[in-house]
Amino acid sequence: MHSLIRKYYYGDIPDTPNAGGDPISSPSAAAEHPWPLWEVFIRSKQGLDHKHAGSLHAADAQMAIENARDVYTRRNEGISIWVVESKYVHASSPDEAESFYEPATDKIYRHPTFYDLPEEVKHM
Amino acid sequence: MPITNSEFPITNSQLLITNQLINYTLHLADNTLILAQQNSEWCGHGPILEQDIAITNISLDLLGQARNFYQYAAELINQSTSQPINLLTSQPATEDTLAYLRDNREFRNCLLVEQENGDWAKTILRQFVFSNYQYLLYEKMQDSKDEALRAIAEKALKEVIYHLKWSSEWVIRLGDGTEESNQRINKAVIELWPYVDELFINAAYESALISNNISVDVASLKNLWMQKTKEIFAEATLGIPENIFAHKGGKQGMHTERLGYILAEMQFLQRAYPNSVW
């Protein structure tokens, strides 16, 4: 059973219906009624943040968590899983990268490197 | 000169228990190996990538359990003075010789696990029926007097809890899903139900070990099994068939034709090229 899925990569998810998984004509039932795409976040151990691990398809949240368990934690990678439907992730547009990010590249004074630290201050 | 039983009274009764324990352990191993082999056929063919991985994960869990049981059975066989297992070679038994060099009639798996995969609904239902049984079995086996069986059950139970959850949810999803999914799972119920009862009929090797608290009395699991099945089937809007003729014999080595095909594929390499390794 083949179903062709146009896959968007992380950060490029368009803010439209069917975001992420857009089936290209295929006879299979899975493609006629595609399951929504979910983003998976895994916490590898207590005290660390959940990190984005990847994305997958699932019919509902419970199935998404179980799929994530089977796909992303089978080699002992995690102790906690978050899933969120990809359509709820709003991303910055790659087209706006210039105005969004480049102005920050020449503002070196925003890094706290111009202060003389007192001797007693550690861990900076 | 004939040897009378009275010459070895103690050895004989111990031997009897050991032989039954070997049979019992092989039965547990064969159940898990055959189901693992069958589920693994879905690898690359699952309805969707994520579920393909899920079913093959379950397959690997079952294979791991089979390995533990076979290793224990091999140990028992090698320790025992008489070897009731008909091996092709005179080499000591190993997990591999037990899996790859025994014939159809020596396998003691229940008939349920050798039933064809069919469609996704049938594979799911087979898994649900078996996981539901295995959950109750391993839970009880944690109290077995046999240390090895106890340890294997304890480890495997965690895996089975997930298999049961996963397959239960799928039974509900298919039963209470679309018209087609409901039709398919109903068909699976009709096809598989004749193989349910065998799970709860003690074979001679199970009965013989109950009084020593080694084996689990499978007849005692049936009510709990039915309770869980009713609960899931109610949610799935499925009916439970009644008065179905029950096939049995798998646990005694009398199998359906299908097991021959499964073994032919699984054992081909070791039979054609003995002792070949990866």
pLDDT digits (tens, 9 = 90+) for A105-118: 888 878 777 778 88
Out of A45-49, B114-118, B143-147, B215-219, least confident range:
A45-49
Identify the architecture of domain B13-272 in CATH: Up-down Bundle (1.20)
Taking only the tens place, the pLDDT of each residue in A70-118 is: 999 988 889 999 999 999 999 888 888 888 888 888 888 787 777 788 8
| Residues of chain B contacting A66 with CB distance shorter than 8 Å | 54, 165-166, 169
Q: What is the pLDDT of residue A22?
A: 44
Per-residue pLDDT for B7 more than 60?
Answer: no
**In chain A, where are the structural domains located?**
5-92
Between B45, B50, B57, which is nearest A56 by CB? B50
- Cross-chain residue pair A1–B45, CB shorter than 8 Å: yes
Find the closest chain B residue to A37 by CA distance: B50
For residues A57 and B217, what is the distance between their CA atoms, to the nearest angstrom?
42
The architecture of the domain spanning A5-92 is: Roll (3.10)
Q: What is the pLDDT of residue A105?
A: 83
Residue appearing with tokens 């193989």: B195
Residue B6 pLDDT class (50, 70, 90 cuts): very low
Task: For chain B, give every domain's residue range.
Answer: 13-272
Please judge whether B48 and A57 are an interchain contact, meaning their C-beta atoms are less than 8 angstroms apart. Answer: yes
* pLDDT (0 to 100) of residue B54: 94
- β-strands A37-43, A80-85 pairing: antiparallel
Q: What is the 3-class SS of chain A, one letter each residue?
A: CCCCEEECCCCCCCCCCCCCEEECCCCCHHHHCCCCEEEEEEECCCCCCEEEEEEEECCCHHHHHHHHHHHHCCCCCCCEEEEEEHHHCCCCCHHHHHHHHHHHCCCHHHCCCCCCCCCCCCCC
* Whether the Cβ atoms of residue B95 and residue B26 lie closer than 8 Å to each other: no
Q: Is the ipTM of this complex over 0.90?
A: no
> What per-residue confidence (pLDDT) applies to B157?
97
Given a cut of 60, whether residue B94 has pLDDT beyond it is: yes
Average pLDDT over residues B133-153: 97
Closest residue by Cα to residue A80 from A108, A112, A41, A114: A41
Distance from C-alpha of B267 to C-alpha of A56, rounded to nearest angstrom: 36
Would you call B63 exposed, middle or buried from its count of C-beta atoms within 10 A (0-12, 13-18, 19+)?
A: middle
Whether the CB of A57 is below 8 Å from some CB of chain B: the reply is yes
What is the average per-residue pLDDT within A51-72? 93
- Tens-digit pLDDT profile for residues A2-11: 555 555 554 4
